[in-house]
């Protein structure tokens, strides 16, 4: 196992070194080709050729679910992972309730754009539903404000105490939405949410129930967000976040206003989470409280840790894998002809790949966290820290 890990590390470092030695024009060309590949990915005439001819042809695309829909789901989880990566990966703040900001963005868009919303049907606070594009900046602003309001009293806490408070925030959002009938309509939710604007040449809406345009939209947003976060991390703000993550007390002694920068990290992450929620609500066309469960917050945190906290590429990779791999595992039964059910003592049991996919994915996560605790694509500094800790533990033993 050690030999395999060494070979993989050498291969990865060799590829990285070759890419770093390429001229700037070649790097840009490769990035452009990769982006074109991503935009072409949801087209059936393109993705159906993606597979591995290993005796049986193993498709790398999903066969049980629409590929474009799965890619869109990956997209908004990647956005969530990018937002949480600011909080956890760069500022070092453990947030277990990040999905609450996703709920704030989704409910804001639903409340302002749906003709079924009670602010139009019962209370007449507004004359008519707003367009999705008008509601979007308000959703982002309210999510950002929620981050500031939550962070202002609790960011003086650290570690487990901060994690418990943020977990309570997410559960509070879900319970209020579930039990509040006067605006959010409880478990019945809000339907007929507006879609993003745009029409085809024949006058039909671009954004209706076809997932492809939504995937292209969220992919464009992700690309823009990567540039924004990359520049932010390389700025004075990003350096302050890293200093806080490494040693908050030392950073404060050196004159870094740690409380202010932690608030900024919380607010930035919350705004991105709200943006993701607004995109999802526009595509789902329906919102209710059962969507915003605790498992979703844990899944986003797992995405950041799996990919590699403190690295933009790692957050993207983790956000993609936590959604795509379970959906792809549905296809395994079709490829190998596995049985769907089995009878034990006369009782039928569902053993299909669809039913057991999260078991397999959980095992994969455990194995990765054992052998790659720094994540699949870690930040170089963070990977070096973990390696140093391993050496210290070996010396102590």
CATH number at residue 160: 1.10.3470
Residue 286 backbone phi and psi in degrees, to 5: -155, 140
Whether 141 maps to a domain, the answer reads yes
In a domain, 46, yes or no: no
Show the beta-strand stretches assigned E in the chain: 51-54, 56-59, 190-191, 286-287, 341-344, 347-350
Query: Rounded CA gap, 182 and 254, in Å?
Result: 50
Report if residue 303 sits inside a domain: yes
Pull the structure tokens for residue 19. Answer: 């890419």
53/74 Cα distance (integer angstroms): 25
At residue 272, the pLDDT reads 96
> 208 is in which domain, residue-wise?
62-325
pLDDT in tens, the chain (397 residues): 556 666 666 666 677 777 778 888 888 899 999 999 999 999 988 988 888 776 667 888 888 888 999 999 999 999 999 999 999 999 988 888 899 999 999 999 999 999 988 888 888 888 889 999 999 999 999 999 999 998 888 888 887 888 888 888 888 888 888 887 788 888 888 999 999 998 888 888 999 888 999 999 999 999 999 999 999 999 999 999 989 988 888 998 888 899 899 999 999 999 999 999 999 999 999 998 888 888 888 899 999 999 998 899 999 999 999 999 888 888 777 776 667 777 777 777 777 767 777 888 888 888 888 888 888 888 776 666 666 655 555 555 5
pLDDT value of position 373: 83
Model pLDDT, residue 9: 67
- Kindly give, in sequence order, each residue whose CB lies less than 8 Å from that of residue 270, ignoring residues fewer than 6 positions away: 83, 101, 104, 143, 144, 146, 147, 148, 150
Is residue 182 in a domain?
yes
The answer to whether the CB of 163 falls within 8 A of the CB of 301 is no
Q: What is the pLDDT at residue 229? A: 94
In the chain, the N- to C-terminal Cα span, in Å, equals 22
Is 158 among the domain residues? yes
DSSP state at residue 87: I
For residue 289, give both structure tokens: 């409280």
Query: pLDDT value at position 56?
Result: 67
pLDDT of res. 85 = 95
pLDDT of residue 131: 94
Report the b/e string of 111-120 with b at 16+ CB within 10 A: bbbbebbbeb
Three-state secondary structure call for residue 344: strand
| Count: domains in the chain | 1
Asked if residue 15 belongs to a domain, the reply is no
**Residue 369 structure tokens:** 């966290």
Residue 253 lies in a domain: yes
On whether residue 12 sits in a domain, the answer given is no
As a whole number of angstroms, the distance between CA 161 and CA 44 comes to 48
DSSP β-ladder status, 341-344 and 347-350? antiparallel
- pLDDT for res 349: 73
């Amino acid at each position: 196992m050690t030999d395999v890990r060494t070979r993989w590390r050498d291969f990865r470092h060799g590829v990285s070194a070759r890419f770093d030695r390429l001229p700037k024009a070649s790097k840009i060309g490769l990035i452009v080709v990769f982006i074109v590949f991503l935009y072409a990915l949801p087209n059936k005439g393109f993705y159906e050729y993606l597979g591995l001819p290993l005796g049986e042809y193993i498709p790398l695309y999903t066969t049980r679910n629409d590929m474009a829909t799965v890619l869109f789901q990956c997209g908004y989880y990647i956005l969530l992972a990018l937002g949480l990566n600011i909080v956890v990966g760069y500022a070092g703040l453990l947030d277990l309730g990040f999905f609450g900001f996703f709920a704030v963005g989704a409910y804001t868009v639903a409340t302002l754009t749906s003709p079924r919303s009670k602010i139009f049907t019962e209370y007449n606070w507004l004359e008519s539903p707003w367009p999705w594009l008008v509601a979007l900046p308000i959703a982002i602003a309210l999510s950002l404000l929620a981050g500031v309001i939550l962070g202002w009293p609790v960011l003086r806490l650290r570690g487990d105490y901060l994690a418990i408070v943020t977990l309570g925030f997410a559960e509070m959002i879900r319970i209020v939405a579930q039990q509040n009938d006067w605006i959010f309509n409880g478990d019945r939710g809000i339907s007929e949410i507006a879609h993003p604007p745009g029409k085809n040449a024949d006058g039909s809406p671009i954004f209706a129930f076809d997932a492809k345009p939504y995937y292209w939209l969220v992919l464009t947003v992700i690309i823009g967000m990567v540039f924004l976060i990359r520049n932010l991390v390389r700025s004075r703000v990003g350096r302050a976040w890293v200093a806080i993550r490494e040693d908050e007390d030392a950073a404060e002694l050196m004159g870094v206003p740690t409380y202010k920068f932690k608030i900024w990290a919380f607010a930035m992450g919350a705004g991105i989470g709200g943006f993701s929620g607004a995109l999802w609500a526009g595509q789902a066309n329906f919102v209710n409280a059962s969507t915003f469960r605790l498992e979703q917050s844990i899944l986003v945190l797992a995405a950041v840790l799996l990919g590699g906290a403190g690295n933009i590429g790692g957050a993207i990779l983790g956000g993609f894998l936590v959604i795509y791999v379970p959906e792809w595992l549905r296809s395994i039964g079709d490829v190998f002809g596995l049985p769907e059910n089995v009878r034990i003592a006369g009782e039928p049991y569902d053993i299909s790949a669809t039913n057991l996919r999260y078991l397999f994915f959980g095992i994969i996560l455990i194995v990765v966290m054992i052998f790659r605790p720094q994540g699949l694509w870690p930040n170089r500094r963070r990977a070096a820290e973990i390696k140093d800790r391993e050496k210290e533990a070996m010396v102590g033993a």
